[in-house]
Amino acid sequence: MTIRYVIFLFLSLAIFSCQEDKPKRPESVVKTKKPQVKIPTFSGDKAFANIEKQLDFGTRVPGTPTHKACKNWLVDEFKNYGAEVIEQDFKASFLSVKDAESTNIIAQFNPENKERVLLCAHWDSRLIAEKDPEESMRDKPIMGADDGGSGVGVLLEIARLIHENPIDLGIDIVLFDAEDNGLDRQNWCLGSKHWGKNLHKKNYTAEFGILLDMVGAKDAKFPMEEISMRYAQGYLKRVWKLAEKMKADDLFIKKKIPAIEDDHLHVNQLANIPTIDIINAAHEDGTFGAHHHTHDDNIDIISKTTLRKVGQVVTAVIYNHSCGRF
């Protein structure tokens, strides 16, 4: 993930032309209220351990052996939690790398249920650390504890909760590959672009989607991002309102920020699923946290409290939605 405010105007034009062609989806499907279900308790400790485990493999740059080893572990974890898993392979070219073996991991819970919600994150880590203060370290791959590891850590914990607390809702957890290895305007979000053009099931759709990107840092702040507002404003406002009710409004702040090209752009435009981005991007100096694309993006900047708060909000969204209360 990188700052791409410079392409805001370009994106806006692309979005407007896209909207002219496509019928607007209803912002919410009226659902019958069912009895309130118990919302399971999200564990910040377990989400943290999920990040440590990913880092134990090493960096997760597409095409490398450590990337492949981590993929196999992720697939096994989802299967252990009862998901039907699809590995969607594709080739990615980025920076100095050509045709790297890459895989979107799609974990389906209750695949027969027609009411579905999409939860997603990217699972790759970055080949370079172009923002590192140490010049000699800038060509080395980063650990990506926050940028990559945190979203995956939270979603794996949600998979565990779904396994232990059955939910009357279809949930698809999609881990996009090759999100974070672009440069300037090119080659970002390769996994979500591939998935959007080659959906894992014919006519696949979901009522709405939530993308988690950099959701684990101690000082995280999640602002209201432009693309999320443009495509899925109703959902964003309901998530932020729920976060306020759950006393997580120190993270989910009401500051509006310009467009960021992240995987949700392609889910919105290619799959036509209204999708918001929960992303740590509200810092004064260049919007992302100081650890972004540096070697400080390691386990030391991760907070179990941040993970617990964001994870508990997303868990509440899906369990409330399953009984018509979101």
- What's the rounded Cα separation, in Å, for the pair 315 and 163? 13
SS3 134: coil
Q: Which is nearer to Zn ion, 132 or 180 (CB)?
A: 180
Q: If binding is defined by CB under 5 A, does position 177 make contact with Zn ion?
A: no
What is the crossing angle of helices 8-21 and 226-245, to 10°?
90
What is the contact mask toward Zn ion in residues 96 to 135, using x (rule: CB under 5 A)?
Answer: ----------------------------------------
| Identified binder of Zn ion from the candidate list 180, 207, 263, 297, rule CB under 5 A | 180
253 to 144, 236, 243, 244: CA distances (angstroms):
24, 11, 9, 9
- For residue 147, the minimal CB distance to Zn ion (Å) is 4
Nearer to Zn ion, 189 or 251 (CB): 189
- The least CB distance from residue 180 to Zn ion, in Å, is 4
CB of 319 to Zn ion, least distance (A): 30
Residue least distant from Zn ion (Cβ) = 1
The answer to whether 147 contacts Zn ion (rule: CB under 5 A) is: yes
Hey, is 88 helix, strand or coil?
Answer: strand
Contact window for Zn ion (CB under 5 A) among 31-39, 151-159, 174-182, 253-261: 174-182
Count of CA atoms in the C-beta half-sphere (13 A) of 76: 6
DSSP letter string, 8-50: HHHHHHHHHHHHHHSPPPPS-------PPPPPPPP-HHHHHHH
Q: Of 172 and 297, which has the nearer Cβ to Zn ion?
A: 297
Q: Which is nearer to Zn ion, 228 or 312 (CB)?
A: 228
User: What's the rounded Cα separation, in Å, for the pair 203 and 56?
Assistant: 37
Least distance in angstroms from the C-beta of 286 to Zn ion: 13
Segment contacting Zn ion by CB under 5 A, of 29-37, 50-58, 172-180, 250-258: 172-180
CB of 126 to Zn ion, least distance (A): 6
CB of 204 to Zn ion, least distance (A): 26
**DSSP type of residue 299:** G
Number of residues that bind Zn ion (CB under 5 A): 3
Cβ closest to Zn ion, residue 148 vs residue 274 = 148
Candidates 11, 36, 55, 71; CA nearest to 302 is 55
Distance CA 298, CA 144 (A): 6
Nearer to Zn ion, 176 or 326 (CB): 176
List 1, 220, 307, 318, residue binding Zn ion (CB under 5 A): 1
Q: Are 3 and 293 in contact (CB under 8 A)?
A: no
In the three-class reduction of DSSP (H, G, I as helix; E, B as strand; rest coil), residue 274 is classed as: coil
Is residue 261 close enough to count as binding Zn ion by CB under 5 A?
Answer: no
Compute the C-alpha angle 46/72/160, nearest 5°. 30
Residue placing its CB nearer to Zn ion in the complex, 180 or 226: 180
Stretch near Zn ion under the rule CB under 5 A, chosen from 176-184, 201-209, 242-250, 262-270: 176-184
DSSP bridge pairs for 10? none
Which span sits near Zn ion by CB under 5 A: 46-54, 173-181, 240-248, 283-291? 173-181
- Find the helix packing angle between 8-21 and 263-270, rounded to 10°: 20
Residue 209 beta carbon to Zn ion: minimum distance, rounded to whole angstroms: 19
> Taken in order 233, 236, 238, 241, is the CA torsion positive or negative?
negative
Site residues for Zn ion per CB under 5 A: 1, 147, 180
